[in-house]
Structure 1
Amino acid sequence: MSISLAEETKNTAQTNASDLEKQLIAWRRELHQHPELSNQEFVTTQKITQWLNAAGIRILSLGLQTGVVAEIGPETGPVVALRGDIDALPIEETSGVPFSSQQPGVMHACGHDFHTSVILGAAHLLKAREDQLPGRVRLFFQPAEERFGGASQLIKAGALENVDAIFGLHNAPELPVGTFSTKGGAFYANVDRFQITVTGKGAHAAHPEEGVDSIVTASHIVTALQTVVSRNVSAQEAAVVSVTRIEGGNTWNVLPQSVELEGTVRTHNSEIREQIPQRIRKVIAGVADALGAKAELHWFGGPPAVVNTPRWAEFSLKAADEFGYKTEVAQAQMGGEDFAFYLHHVPGAFVSIGSASDFGLHHPQFNPDESAIYPAAEYFQQLAEKALDELTEK
């Protein structure tokens, strides 16, 4: 029995899709086994460059130490950018998967290997349709997202030149595979880091009256910091102050001279963001003074909030619905993302793709479902094409 040309074409397309899906998973596992920290992604950069070159995708020469920017499509017309990130975290993997990290103490615990594979897949699909594109698709394989510096590096190198709209993704382990979400306006939070140095007077632990106890002072400060949000920020606003590290002392029978606290502040409202460090300074100074110690705040401003362009957030949701994802309007997140820096220069949207991991982001057992990779690649290929059509019509 013979088959029709249409059936043969369909079967060929399905075979090609299956082959690409297997390749994307293989690339993801290769990256997962060899993770590299922020601004150290030299081998990762070489691999991505090699894979893009093999597909005939042109690489832009921007003088980057790590990271890759590539482009598909004609030299004329609008430009749409797709961004994936490539760095890993200083975490010892305990997932037990057969392709676990071979780099001690380093792991792709945030799924940047997942993101990279998705954008690689979109690149290959777009390359196959290059002659039909009414503009260019620029592909960002960005370093140093975890250090919140990679986006600024690419912007400084000129990666955003002539870009009309930009889209990026993060896998969402709390969402099932096949689920998509985003929202217009503030999506991810402003991210800031703080350190507090508490200085007392060291003494023998048997004679605390002869010193000023920095550990007791630091403990009171940790408790008092919980009032910064609960008693200074409206319950209708989102804000978090978390102390994540406390370090002081080096033996069991001595009161240490000093203690260091470290933590993070997350906000959506820029006015509240500015007010919180002022309030922290007053709180820690008052507590320390009451106990005879001193406290000094060191503030480190991080990336701003990810504020999606409403037009492109709605556009990406509609495209996801047409693609076949189960779509939902996302809740505002308290996590941070340096994708925010791109949105300060060009319009666009950041989106979430369900990855169904039993363990969350930055967990040593994080393990996203790889079946989500190829559909996400197809989605981003279609999103880029739809965005180019939209921009061409405008």
Structure 2
Amino acid sequence: MVDDEFYNRLMTTRHHIHQHPEVSESEYETTDYIKTYLRKLGIVPLDYPLETGVIVEIGSGLLIIALRADIDALPILERTGLDYASTNNAMHACGHDFHQTSLLGAAELLKARESELKGTVRLIFQPAEENFQGAHKVIRAGGLVDVSAIVGYHNNPHLKPGQLGLRSGAIMAGVEQFAVTVEGISAHAARPDLGVDAVLTITTIVNNLQQIVARTVSPFQSAVLSVTHIDVGNTWNVLPAEGFFEGTIRTFDPQVRLAVIDSFEKIVRDTAAQFGAKVSIEWGNSPKVTFNDASITPLIFETAKEYAEVIETLPSTGGEDFAAYQERIPGVFAFVGSNGDENAPDWHHDDFIVKDEALPVAVNYFVQSALALLDYYQEK
């Protein structure tokens, strides 16, 4: 039986981690802290070629189930007013302090039951989720080798502590990050006919792009296209020679994704050609759809009813590099309720707060999912 003392210790651990956040690919002290914590449990970190992040194993045998938590923070100045608020210029404004704490708790409980495990549980404390590079680092380091399935989650402030949101199929969006440079010809503002207007080209492209979702995506599908940053010109009486805009596309279906990208590129190039401007389009290395495996998600859904109020959740338009794992092996990703106040700030806000009472469901999700999947794959 897990008692209050166990969760009080985890709460203290989370508060410590929350006070000392580190941004993506700089999680050195966090990595050392996790390693020290695990060694005290008798769990030795494995020698994977990762500069930050930790991978360990509990149990034995060729059957391996992986559990993943992300550990990085954001370059945000915290304004929560918590007595354990960040002590530096970063913030766990997405709750990764909560994620890694729950995996540390799961490590302790699984270690206590190590002799009963029907295989190996690999725990991945992953760096650099916020810049979408961490999962790729883990994969290149060999972190998925011989793994049969992987389990992860994200806290969700719109669900209450004690609730768990899950669904088969798409649960978080595929993310496209675009950057478009437009090259015109500079001219005096009084003689626009002697130049190629980069300002007009960019604003027309941005307006035309809004037709994609409104008029080419089926009403039974969904997509989001947002231009979030425009930089063109620097004075009142000169047509600039060049400009730039960037933004994001979010989709839940691979075919919709490809169709939207194709329409995007056609509109950008054709509109630029209309004005005689040149364009270049760059796409970021961002995650595909976080897509829950149809075979094992129902198993995790039923198992979770033993310790949580389970809800078939709507998908989120946020992105997650957990999708990189799911492209290679079966995976399940859930939402763990972390606040429940309808006015609670969302992810990446400077006053974002996770409630400590959400920890029991998060820990149980890791432990019970691992046990259920070990049983499932042993019987296959």
Q: Say yes or no: TM over 0.5.
A: yes
2:96 is equivalent to residue 100 of structure 1: no
2:312 is equivalent to residue 329 of structure 1: yes
Q: Which amino acid aligns with 1:157?
A: A
Contact 1:183–1:310, Cα closer than 8 Å, also in 2? no
d(CA) in 2 for partners of 1:131, 1:237: 47
d(CA) in 1 for partners of 2:39, 2:228: 43
2:251 is equivalent to residue 267 of structure 1: yes
d(CA) in 1 for partners of 2:285, 2:147: 27
Q: Which amino acid aligns with 1:82?
A: L
> 2:264 aligned to 255, 277, 280, which one?
280
2:25 is equivalent to residue 42 of structure 1: no
2:300 is equivalent to residue 316 of structure 1: yes
- Corresponding residue SS for 1:244: strand
d(CA) in 2 for partners of 1:385, 1:26: 27
Aligned residue in 2 for 1:85: 70
Q: Which amino acid aligns with 2:203?
A: S
- Corresponding residue SS for 1:390: helix
Q: Once the two structures are superposed, what CA deviation does each residue of 1:190-234 show, in whole Å capped at 9, x if it has no partner?
A: 211111112233344565555443223222221111112222221
Contact 1:58–1:72, Cα closer than 8 Å, also in 2? no
Aligned length: 377
Q: Which amino acid aligns with 1:69?
A: I
Please report the TM-score for the alignment, with normalisation by the length of structure 2.
0.93
d(CA) in 2 for partners of 1:79, 1:299: 35
Contact 1:121–1:378, Cα closer than 8 Å, also in 2? no
Deviates more, 1:197-206 or 1:276-285: 197-206
Aligned residue in 2 for 1:28: 14
- Corresponding residue SS for 2:306: helix
The aligned runs of 1:236-247 (5 Å cut-off) are 236-247=220-231
Identity among equivalent positions (%) equals 43
> 2:352 aligned to 362, 366, 369, which one?
366
d(CA) in 2 for partners of 1:384, 1:187: 20
Structure 2 residue runs of 5 or longer lacking an equivalent are none
- Corresponding residue SS for 1:349: strand
Q: Which amino acid aligns with 1:100?
A: A
Contact 1:188–1:335, Cα closer than 8 Å, also in 2? yes
Q: Which amino acid aligns with 1:103?
A: N
Q: Which amino acid aligns with 1:341?
A: A
Give 1:264 deviation, angstroms: 0.9
2:366 is equivalent to residue 355 of structure 1: no
Give 1:253 deviation, angstroms: 4.6
Query: CA 1:250–1:94 in 2, change beyond 3 Å: closer, same or farther?
Result: farther
Query: CA 1:34–1:208 in 2, change beyond 3 Å: closer, same or farther?
Result: farther
Contact 1:202–1:212, Cα closer than 8 Å, also in 2? yes
Q: Which amino acid aligns with 1:91?
A: I
Structure 1 residue runs of 5 or longer lacking an equivalent are 1-12
The aligned runs of 1:110-121 (5 Å cut-off) are 110-121=94-105
d(CA) in 2 for partners of 1:232, 1:301: 25
Q: Once the two structures are superposed, what CA deviation does each residue of 1:132-158 show, in whole Å capped at 9, x if it has no partner?
A: 222211101001111212112112222
Aligned residue in 1 for 2:61: 76
Deviates more, 1:231-240 or 1:199-208: 199-208
Over aligned residue pairs, what C-alpha RMSD do you find? 1.9
